Amino acid sequence: MNLSEKRIMVTGGHGFLGRYVVAELKEKGAENIFLPRHSDYDLTQIDDVIRAYKDSEPDVVIHLAAKVGGIGINREKPGEFFYDNLMMGVQLMEQARQFGVDKFVTIGTICAYPKFTPIPFKEEYLWDGYPEETNAPYGLAKKMLLVQGDAYRQQYDFNAIYLLPVNLYGPGDNFNPASSHVIPALIKKCIDALEQGDDQIVAWGSGSPSREFLYVADAARAIVMATEKYNKPDPVNIGAGMEITIKDLLQLIAELCGFQGEIVWDTSKPDGQPRRSLDTSFAQQEFGFKALTDFREGLRRTIDWYIAHRDEL
């Protein structure tokens, strides 16, 4: 698919990942890109979804918009996370079909995998159990879009693809402590402690779970490569092929931030899924994607960005 010739709607295009995807699309020569703002289009409402399609007349839809956050906000708002993510995706895909869209790119979530999944996660393990409880409503809402895409491909010959990115990080991430994911939350803790002269920080859980992290610019490159080249029903893992425990992650972030105080683990707080690490060979096989950004370097860029911009956040 030559993206320079296509009209492309990117939902969530003003968000953290969206800004990188739009930049990558422009690198590929795409000029006709429509970014529906939430203030103008509430994509949980069918009338706004229809209006977005009428206003943009897209050939391609890349659906990034999501209500998303860390363990805390997932536990606080499971109903909102289920309803909003399901309604946005289901209605966007249905209207894409009705408006004759050539290709629909769904960004799923690693949270769709079962709580106890063998490491590394392979795409065929996706249906082998129930997701981890704290983020199951979000994970299952996004997982239903894989089912919808498969059903539409069978009945309507509709080209919907489904990508499963791991946790993202990078400059421009969400550092709001009420809703941030683990990397920005830990960076903020370390920088705040340094500025306030605190000699300890408190982190959630035991530190024993593991996670995989993908630099946001690499994720954007993967999404655009899949949009160009991938047209199969099978879901595709998008990751860096690495694994690090939360304890080691925090020690690395503390080192890069210059925090040398004590780390206290609050084991009354949940750990979330025990381990997360992806088998990323299918993405490389199908459309040549491989993550390029060194994790330590990516963290350093993220920390530098936060220090430079935290007064604006």
138 catalytically annotated: yes
Specify the residue for token string 């690198």: 27
Find the catalytic residue in 20, 138, 152, 215: 138
Residues with a catalytic annotation lie at 138
